Protein backbone atom coordinates (compact mmCIF):
# COMPACT_ATOMS: atom_id res chain seq x y z
CA UNK A 1 0.00 0.00 0.00
CA UNK A 2 1.41 3.38 -0.92
CA UNK A 3 1.86 6.11 1.66
CA UNK A 4 -1.12 8.44 1.75
CA UNK A 5 -0.42 12.18 1.72
CA UNK A 6 -2.52 14.70 3.64
CA UNK A 7 -4.41 15.87 0.53
CA UNK A 8 -5.70 12.35 -0.04
CA UNK A 9 -6.78 11.36 3.43
CA UNK A 10 -8.26 14.61 4.70
CA UNK A 11 -11.73 13.94 3.17
CA UNK A 12 -12.17 10.93 5.45
CA UNK A 13 -11.01 12.81 8.53
CA UNK A 14 -13.21 15.82 7.77
CA UNK A 15 -16.23 13.60 7.17
CA UNK A 16 -15.70 11.25 10.09
CA UNK A 17 -19.18 11.95 11.48
CA UNK A 18 -20.76 10.89 8.19
CA UNK A 19 -18.63 7.74 8.18
CA UNK A 20 -19.77 6.99 11.73
CA UNK A 21 -23.42 7.52 10.74
CA UNK A 22 -23.06 5.02 7.89
CA UNK A 23 -21.43 2.47 10.20
CA UNK A 24 -24.18 2.98 12.80
CA UNK A 25 -26.85 2.41 10.17
CA UNK A 26 -25.27 -0.65 8.58
CA UNK A 27 -23.92 -2.41 11.67
CA UNK A 28 -26.17 -1.04 14.44
CA UNK A 29 -25.05 1.22 17.24
CA UNK A 30 -24.48 -1.56 19.77
CA UNK A 31 -22.11 -4.29 18.65
CA UNK A 32 -19.63 -6.42 20.52
CA UNK A 33 -17.05 -9.14 20.14
CA UNK A 34 -18.13 -12.49 18.73
CA UNK A 35 -15.95 -14.29 21.28
CA UNK A 36 -17.97 -16.29 23.81
CA UNK A 37 -17.27 -15.73 27.51
CA UNK A 38 -18.90 -15.76 30.94
CA UNK A 39 -16.48 -13.60 32.90
CA UNK A 40 -13.52 -11.26 32.51
CA UNK A 41 -10.85 -13.96 32.69
CA UNK A 42 -12.58 -16.12 30.09
CA UNK A 43 -12.64 -13.14 27.74
CA UNK A 44 -8.97 -12.50 28.47
CA UNK A 45 -8.06 -16.12 27.64
CA UNK A 46 -10.26 -16.16 24.54
CA UNK A 47 -8.66 -12.95 23.25
CA UNK A 48 -5.16 -14.32 23.77
CA UNK A 49 -6.21 -17.43 21.84
CA UNK A 50 -7.67 -15.35 19.01
CA UNK A 51 -4.27 -13.98 17.97
CA UNK A 52 -3.44 -15.28 14.47
CA UNK A 53 -6.69 -17.26 14.63
CA UNK A 54 -10.42 -16.63 14.19
CA UNK A 55 -13.15 -16.00 16.74
CA UNK A 56 -15.11 -18.88 15.23
CA UNK A 57 -12.28 -21.33 15.83
CA UNK A 58 -11.64 -20.01 19.34
CA UNK A 59 -15.33 -20.42 20.18
CA UNK A 60 -15.04 -24.10 19.30
CA UNK A 61 -12.16 -24.56 21.74
CA UNK A 62 -13.18 -22.49 24.76
CA UNK A 63 -16.35 -24.31 25.92
CA UNK A 64 -14.36 -27.50 26.60
CA UNK A 65 -11.37 -25.50 27.85
CA UNK A 66 -13.42 -23.57 30.42
CA UNK A 67 -15.12 -26.73 31.65
CA UNK A 68 -11.72 -28.30 32.27
CA UNK A 69 -10.10 -25.20 33.80
CA UNK A 70 -12.81 -23.55 35.87
CA UNK A 71 -10.80 -20.85 37.61
CA UNK A 72 -7.73 -18.66 37.36
CA UNK A 73 -6.05 -21.01 39.84
CA UNK A 74 -6.75 -23.98 37.56
CA UNK A 75 -4.98 -22.26 34.69
CA UNK A 76 -2.10 -21.20 36.91
CA UNK A 77 -1.59 -24.80 38.06
CA UNK A 78 -2.14 -26.36 34.63
CA UNK A 79 0.43 -28.68 33.16
CA UNK A 80 1.87 -26.62 30.32
CA UNK A 81 2.15 -29.56 27.91
CA UNK A 82 -1.46 -30.54 28.53
CA UNK A 83 -2.64 -26.97 28.15
CA UNK A 84 -0.81 -26.76 24.83
CA UNK A 85 -2.70 -29.81 23.59
CA UNK A 86 -6.00 -28.30 24.72
CA UNK A 87 -5.50 -25.13 22.65
CA UNK A 88 -3.41 -26.55 19.79
CA UNK A 89 -6.05 -26.00 17.09
CA UNK A 90 -5.91 -22.21 17.61
CA UNK A 91 -2.30 -22.10 16.39
CA UNK A 92 0.87 -20.75 18.03
CA UNK A 93 -0.12 -22.88 20.99
CA UNK A 94 3.32 -22.95 22.66
CA UNK A 95 3.40 -19.18 23.17
CA UNK A 96 -0.32 -18.93 23.92
CA UNK A 97 -0.18 -21.63 26.61
CA UNK A 98 2.86 -20.00 28.17
CA UNK A 99 1.14 -16.58 28.20
CA UNK A 100 -2.14 -17.88 29.62
CA UNK A 101 -0.45 -19.81 32.43
CA UNK A 102 1.87 -16.90 33.30
CA UNK A 103 -1.05 -14.46 33.16
CA UNK A 104 -3.04 -16.61 35.60
CA UNK A 105 -0.05 -16.89 37.92
CA UNK A 106 0.43 -13.11 38.00
CA UNK A 107 -3.26 -12.50 38.61
CA UNK A 108 -3.13 -14.86 41.59
CA UNK A 109 0.06 -13.38 42.98
CA UNK A 110 -0.35 -9.66 42.37
CA UNK A 111 -4.07 -9.02 41.80
CA UNK A 112 -5.86 -11.41 44.15
CA UNK A 113 -7.47 -13.03 41.08
CA UNK A 114 -9.15 -9.73 40.16
CA UNK A 115 -8.92 -8.65 36.53
CA UNK A 116 -7.76 -5.00 36.31
CA UNK A 117 -10.08 -2.52 34.61
CA UNK A 118 -7.35 -0.07 33.59
CA UNK A 119 -5.20 -0.49 30.51
CA UNK A 120 -2.05 0.49 32.41
CA UNK A 121 -2.50 -2.56 34.65
CA UNK A 122 -3.82 -4.94 32.02
CA UNK A 123 -0.76 -4.56 29.79
CA UNK A 124 1.45 -5.64 32.71
CA UNK A 125 -0.04 -9.12 32.41
CA UNK A 126 1.90 -11.70 30.33
CA UNK A 127 0.51 -12.05 26.82
CA UNK A 128 -1.63 -8.92 27.11
CA UNK A 129 -0.92 -6.07 24.71
CA UNK A 130 -3.03 -3.00 24.10
CA UNK A 131 -5.32 -4.78 21.65
CA UNK A 132 -6.19 -7.54 24.12
CA UNK A 133 -6.54 -5.01 26.94
CA UNK A 134 -8.89 -2.88 24.87
CA UNK A 135 -11.04 -5.90 23.95
CA UNK A 136 -11.53 -6.48 27.66
CA UNK A 137 -12.21 -2.81 28.45
CA UNK A 138 -14.74 -2.45 25.64
CA UNK A 139 -16.58 -5.76 25.95
CA UNK A 140 -16.50 -6.57 29.64
CA UNK A 141 -16.01 -3.28 31.47
CA UNK A 142 -17.97 -1.30 28.86
CA UNK A 143 -15.35 1.44 28.75
CA UNK A 144 -14.46 3.39 25.61
CA UNK A 145 -11.59 1.65 23.81
CA UNK A 146 -10.14 1.49 20.31
CA UNK A 147 -9.41 -2.12 19.34
CA UNK A 148 -6.83 -2.27 16.57
CA UNK A 149 -7.10 -5.76 15.11
CA UNK A 150 -6.17 -6.63 11.52
CA UNK A 151 -9.48 -5.29 10.16
CA UNK A 152 -9.25 -1.94 11.98
CA UNK A 153 -5.60 -1.59 10.99
CA UNK A 154 -6.28 -2.31 7.32
CA UNK A 155 -9.45 -0.25 6.91
CA UNK A 156 -8.16 2.74 8.86
CA UNK A 157 -5.24 2.86 6.44
CA UNK A 158 -7.46 2.38 3.42
CA UNK A 159 -9.83 5.13 4.50
CA UNK A 160 -6.87 7.36 5.22
CA UNK A 161 -7.60 7.87 8.91
CA UNK A 162 -3.95 7.04 9.59
CA UNK A 163 -0.69 6.75 7.67
CA UNK A 164 0.89 4.61 10.38
CA UNK A 165 1.45 0.85 10.24
CA UNK A 166 2.11 0.27 13.94
CA UNK A 167 -1.06 -0.75 15.81
CA UNK A 168 -0.32 1.37 18.89
CA UNK A 169 0.24 4.48 16.76
CA UNK A 170 -2.93 3.77 14.79
CA UNK A 171 -4.84 3.53 18.07
CA UNK A 172 -3.55 6.96 19.08
CA UNK A 173 -4.44 8.43 15.67
CA UNK A 174 -7.99 7.08 15.85
CA UNK A 175 -8.45 8.30 19.42
CA UNK A 176 -7.83 11.85 18.17
CA UNK A 177 -10.35 11.55 15.32
CA UNK A 178 -13.18 9.41 16.73
CA UNK A 179 -15.39 10.86 19.51
CA UNK A 180 -14.59 8.98 22.72
CA UNK A 181 -18.13 7.68 23.19
CA UNK A 182 -17.87 6.05 19.75
CA UNK A 183 -14.52 4.30 20.22
CA UNK A 184 -15.81 0.83 21.07
CA UNK A 185 -18.65 0.81 18.56
CA UNK A 186 -16.37 2.09 15.80
CA UNK A 187 -13.93 -0.75 16.45
CA UNK A 188 -16.57 -3.47 16.29
CA UNK A 189 -18.34 -1.90 13.31
CA UNK A 190 -15.10 -1.68 11.34
CA UNK A 191 -14.36 -5.31 12.20
CA UNK A 192 -17.81 -6.25 10.88
CA UNK A 193 -17.22 -4.11 7.78
CA UNK A 194 -13.90 -5.86 7.20
CA UNK A 195 -15.54 -9.27 7.38
CA UNK A 196 -18.42 -8.42 5.05
CA UNK A 197 -17.21 -5.74 2.61
CA UNK A 198 -13.64 -4.53 2.97
CA UNK A 199 -11.77 -7.82 3.16
CA UNK A 200 -8.03 -8.00 2.64
CA UNK A 201 -7.77 -9.64 -0.78
CA UNK A 202 -11.00 -8.80 -2.60
CA UNK A 203 -12.66 -5.71 -1.13
CA UNK A 204 -16.16 -5.06 -2.48
CA UNK A 205 -15.52 -1.40 -3.21
CA UNK A 206 -18.36 -1.10 -5.73
CA UNK A 207 -20.98 -1.75 -3.03
CA UNK A 208 -19.20 -0.04 -0.13
CA UNK A 209 -21.12 2.89 1.33
CA UNK A 210 -17.85 4.42 2.52
CA UNK A 211 -16.45 4.63 -1.01
CA UNK A 212 -17.06 8.37 -1.27
CA UNK A 213 -14.64 8.99 1.60
CA UNK A 214 -12.12 6.24 0.83
CA UNK A 215 -9.00 7.01 -1.22
CA UNK A 216 -8.14 3.30 -1.50
CA UNK A 217 -11.60 2.34 -2.74
CA UNK A 218 -11.65 5.02 -5.39
CA UNK A 219 -8.20 4.05 -6.65
CA UNK A 220 -9.08 0.35 -6.52
CA UNK A 221 -12.36 0.84 -8.36
CA UNK A 222 -11.51 3.55 -10.88
CA UNK A 223 -7.77 3.18 -11.37
CA UNK A 224 -7.06 -0.54 -10.88
CA UNK A 225 -3.83 -0.39 -12.89
CA UNK A 226 -2.34 2.67 -11.23
Asked if 149 is an active-site residue, the reply is yes
Q: In angstroms, how far is the first alpha carbon of the chain from the final one?
A: 12
Given the residues 101, 149, 173, 182, the one annotated as active site: 149
Give the DSSP per-residue string, the chain: -PPPPHHHHHHHHHTHHHHHHHHHHHH-S--------SSHHHHHHHHHHTTTS-HHHHHHHHHHHHHH--SHHHHHTS-HHHHHHHHGGGS-HHHHHHHHHHHHHHHHHHSTTPPPSSHHHHTTSTT--HHHHHHHHHHTS--------HHHHHHHHHHTS----SHHHHHHHHHHHS-GGGHHHHHHHHHHHHHHTS-SSS--GGG-TTGGG-HHHHHHHH-TT-
Q: How far is residue 192's CA from residue 48's CA, in Å, rounded to a whole number? A: 20
Given the residues 86, 96, 101, 131, the one annotated as active site: 131
Asked if 67 is an active-site residue, the reply is no
Active site residues: 131, 149
Amino acid sequence: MKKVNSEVYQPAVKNINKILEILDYDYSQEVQTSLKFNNAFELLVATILSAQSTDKLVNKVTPTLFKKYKSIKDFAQADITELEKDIKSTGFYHNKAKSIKACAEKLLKDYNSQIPDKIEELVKLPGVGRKTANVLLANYYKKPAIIVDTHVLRISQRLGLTINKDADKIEQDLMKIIPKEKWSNFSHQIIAHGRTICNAKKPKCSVCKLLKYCWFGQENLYQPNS
